[in-house]
Amino acid sequence: MTQRVCFQLRINPDLADEYKERHANVWPEMLSALSETGWRNYSLFLGSDGLLTGYLECDDFETSVRRMGETAINEKWQASMAKFFVGLDGGAPDGAMAPLEEVFHLD
């Protein structure tokens, strides 16, 4: 069964242009690792205030996050992206992805 996951994080809006540029050029190794660890239909949406909303589909979110966290490329990507995020208290962005409760889905 496919699990649909939505989460929110916050980036510094002053760095939004650079954040978007980084995602226009995601490393091919990172894209492969996401696919190989079960991330499907992954999208990010950014508000002008820095609110970042992510959506993905996977078989099991906790397993997909854990498997991705075990890859060397994810460690490098998270370290390179950490400067964009606010409110993480030194943690990696992927460690702060807490799924929102789904209350409706039009099937």
Active site residues: 23
Rounded Cα distance, 31 and 47, in Å: 23
CB 50 within 8 A of CB 96: no
Contacts of 41 (CB under 8 A, 6+ apart): 55, 56, 57
The sign of the dihedral angle between the CA atoms of 89, 91, 92, 95 is: negative
